[in-house]
Amino acid sequence: MSTPVGIVLVSHSAELAAGLRLLVEQIGSDTVPVVTAAGTEDGRIGTSYDLVLNAIKIADRGAGVLVLPDLGSSVLTTRTVLDDHPRPDVVLVDAPFVEGAVAAVVAAASGADLQTVVNSAEEARNVRKL
């Protein structure tokens, strides 16, 4: 199997991101690098430039990285990181946090390329629950 796309979950809450990581690892595969950048370095609610930058580096296995933020400043922090360190193979995705992460990990586990993984996460916005 080829190198999978990496996934970075950016959240204000370390607990929220850790729980989502556990979920997607069980649904997807342990071969997909899923890394969290959540909370602040001292354990508070918030987002951290350094944690986002480091998570991208850890998740990168050579096939690209999808970055999925939860809301608000996680988006702004991620945009700042990507503006300061632009890479065509790192994509910030506008998708629902849980559904987007699940769709992205399933696609990445199947060996899909970065654009397909991005599309899968974004399409999760349109999947009805009822």
Residue of 12, 102, 117, 122 with catalytic role: 12
Q: Give the Cβ contact number of residue 12 at 10 Å.
A: 20
Distance CA 30, CA 26 (A): 8
Q: Is 12 a catalytic residue?
A: yes
Half-sphere CA count of 46, side-chain side, radius 13 A: 9
Are 59 and 6 spatial neighbours (Cβ–Cβ below 8 Å)? yes
Annotated catalytic residues are 12
